[in-house]
Structure 1
């Protein structure tokens, strides 16, 4: 949730204007209950004026597209229904249905556009798949080439990768191992941490906990109980997708640089010219909150490798959301071997 101190001035202006319109309309309803034009005036405010103000003062300044306000006229009509007297509530439904039809038409156009994007992604994926044995990597490249590298594209890549590793990657190990080039090295990061065993143990705890929580919440709200249960299911899916990705995608290193594919937790591509130093610690690096905030890392476990960059570089963390950082921490099975090989490549 955004704290009040982080709200922009234009957002405060919108909140103030919306509250003023709501107050005036509510006062008018109390004093002019039987005026026939009253319902249409209030609907005009709620379905057009307030959404327009929201677009001008909030949405437009963030760079988001106009489709972000398409549901607001319908929501405004429903809000107007609550403050109108019962004798005028019928006017709401007479006014909403043509606007709702317009919204549905706009949404159909958006869906058509999104379907076209999906078709382009699939076509590009098939092209990349001919030369890239790693299906997860092919998905990643195809989505980013078609949709770009923004936050929405990153989340879509994350979800598509999660589904792939969870459901469709079980025959991929042999094919991906055959892909390893002679002049490249790979380094695992799931063995010393017993990630498969830990995932199985966490699954047992989550299932037991979700059953108890579901039964308790169901006595208060069945909807809340199912929301929490589906959240637990999504967490289990992410847990096993991350475990599968960790097995299939070791950290790779060649003469060009390092390709970081750290499960579903950390993604990045570094050239040797990007790296200023690389070190390892036998006891691991203990990170405080400040260091965690300014660096990127595997999230779980105590890291034993530290990479410092010459300048900030984009990497992708949780949900593949982009982050600019100069420090990257890793937890690998053979830290000394990785550091020695990296230094040998960097010295070439």
Structure 2
């Protein structure tokens, strides 16, 4: 049984790992002297390896090895992006000089876009929300990541003085007041660092300065959105469940009948355990929960099983009193 586990794991992860290795090696090939001297052959070889690796991986992951047409087209469209962006400058320049290859790549991308637009539009007209509609053409983990980033940028740039998300009938318990001063200091330091680093780099290379500026600014906006989300997404207690949230980082609903005991602290080993959901940011928890049974917590990729929860709340005594009343503990 034990000896078969590595084989099972290899079969499970091979469709993800092998294409990455193949594409990575092919990309390195485009930077060799041979590729520079044989740019046409290198461009065709790189495009073939990328497309072949992604399409074969898609077939391997599909049910009964029979993926839908739009899924294959999606893999091919991703391949187009990798071929254009991932090739070395010399090979990329050669790609744009090959009308047949460039036309094939362009038609592939356009065909996927047309099919994707049709499926999304149909799902939307059938009453699906935007997430369900986009799931018709985008893989689950990638879709979650994409929507999370869009929501974060919207929150950072356009949501000011918004009301906390508290449904009717729920009791809200905040956890942002102890964090607000620290988060404010971090944001101020990031702004200063952004300006100083950009100025120094621009004296050396304006291109590099803007290249570094873009992801740094995105990181700053992400941190601002996280800070806002801590106030907007409090912990919620309802008649039958406890919704544990940490801004946009965690969101887990725990049935009240799954809570076995309420405490105030865990030892360091318990806090670090994977089965413990520790929502206390940069601080020790002041409320802890032990669960009578494991609970599945959804994440960006897959789920996580937890049986303990650690929280840092602004009003721990009021929370414990309300939770004990709701659970009878």
Return the alpha-carbon distance in structure 2 between the equivalents of residues 189 and 90 of structure 1: 54
Q: What is the match of residue 86 of structure 1?
A: none
Query: 1:266/1:54 Cα in 2 relative to 1: closer, same or farther (>3 Å)?
Result: closer
Q: What is the match of residue 233 of structure 1?
A: 217
Q: Would you say 1:68 and 2:75 are equivalent positions? A: yes
Consecutive unaligned residues in structure 1, runs of 5 or more: 84-88, 126-141
Return the alpha-carbon distance in structure 2 between the equivalents of residues 74 and 116 of structure 1: 24
CA offset at residue 213 of structure 1? 1.8
Q: What is the match of residue 306 of structure 2?
A: 325
Q: How does 1:65-214 map to 2 (within 5 A)?
A: 65-66=71-72, 67-72=74-79, 93-109=98-114, 112-113=117-118, 116=121, 119=124, 143=131, 147=135, 150-170=140-160, 172-173=162-163, 180-181=168-169, 184-191=170-177, 193=178, 195-214=179-198
CA offset at residue 189 of structure 1? 0.9
Return the alpha-carbon distance in structure 1 between the equivalents of residues 33 and 151 of structure 2: 53
CA offset at residue 208 of structure 1? 0.9
Deviations 1:233-252 (Å, cap 9, x if unpaired)? 22332333233333233211
Q: Does structure 1 retain, via aligned residues, the 8 Å contact 2:76–2:108?
A: no
SS at match of 1:296: strand
Q: How does 1:309-348 map to 2 (within 5 A)?
A: 309-316=291-298, 322-347=303-328
CA offset at residue 102 of structure 1? 1.6
Deviations 1:81-112 (Å, cap 9, x if unpaired)? 958xxxxx699613213212322322422552
Deviations 1:298-329 (Å, cap 9, x if unpaired)? 34322222223344433356x79853332322
SS at match of 2:114: helix
Aligned length, in residue pairs: 303
CA offset at residue 158 of structure 1? 2.4
Return the alpha-carbon distance in structure 2 between the equivalents of residues 60 and 215 of structure 1: 49
Q: Does structure 2 retain, via aligned residues, the 8 Å contact 1:203–1:236?
A: yes
Deviations 1:38-87 (Å, cap 9, x if unpaired)? 96x7766443355214432x44445594323335368659969958xxxx
Q: What is the match of residue 306 of structure 1?
A: 288
Consecutive unaligned residues in structure 2, runs of 5 or more: 1-8
Q: What is the match of residue 55 of structure 1?
A: 55
Deviations 1:212-269 (Å, cap 9, x if unpaired)? 2223333455444334323332233233323333323321112211122321222111
Return the alpha-carbon distance in structure 2 between the equivalents of residues 145 and 95 of structure 1: 34
CA offset at residue 205 of structure 1? 0.6
**Which has the greater radius of gyration?**
1
Q: What is the match of residue 295 of structure 1?
A: 276
Q: What is the match of residue 263 of structure 2?
A: 279
Q: CA RMSD in A?
A: 4.8
Return the alpha-carbon distance in structure 2 between the equivalents of residues 117 and 239 of structure 1: 36
